[in-house]
Amino acid sequence: MTVRNLLIVLILCSVVGAFTGLMLGNVVGNLYLGIIAALLATAVAAAARNLKIPQLVAIYSALAIEHSIHTRVIIYSVVASIIAGAAAVGVASEIDVKSSIIVGSLGGLFAGLLMTMLTIVSEIPDGEGRAP
């Protein structure tokens, strides 16, 4: 996974999280907002990497998306996104931010960070990079 792909995932997750915060800001509490934003960000990023729509070939080549994310990584990312959403709410409360858009974008960003870390780790071949 190239750095460009990682940045695309992070930006996409942050935008989805911010949009979720904008739509659900006054409907649910911050904890639920952070978790929902993180889950939606993970789902959208996984779908963007896994769905190959023929009409979007030019976009895929421009974004340099080489391959899809493994299903195991997506499952682990969903579990990690619940933690990321809760962490986003914790960070937002520590810096005294009340904006639902920022809480949502933090949830999406943290979920994207965890998803990219899981993707990088899953691409390491067996036996490489491990302590003896």
What was the pLDDT predicted at 95?
92
Q: What does the angle CA 44 – CA 48 – CA 51 come to, to the nearest 5 degrees? A: 120
**What is the rounded average pLDDT for all residues in the chain?**
79
Does 1 have pLDDT greater than 80?
no
For residue 18, what are the contacts with CB-CB under 8 A and spacing of at least 6? 101, 102, 104, 105, 108
Locate the domains of the chain by residue range.
3-122
Express as a percent the part of the chain with pLDDT over 70: 76
The larger pLDDT score, comparing residue 77 to residue 41, is at 41
Confidence grade of residue 94 (pLDDT, cut at 50, 70, 90): very high
Does 101 have pLDDT greater than 70?
yes
With tokens 């810096």, the residue in question is: 95
Helical residues (DSSP H) of the chain, grouped into ranges: 3-24, 30-50, 57-63, 71-94, 100-122
Does 105 have pLDDT greater than 90?
yes
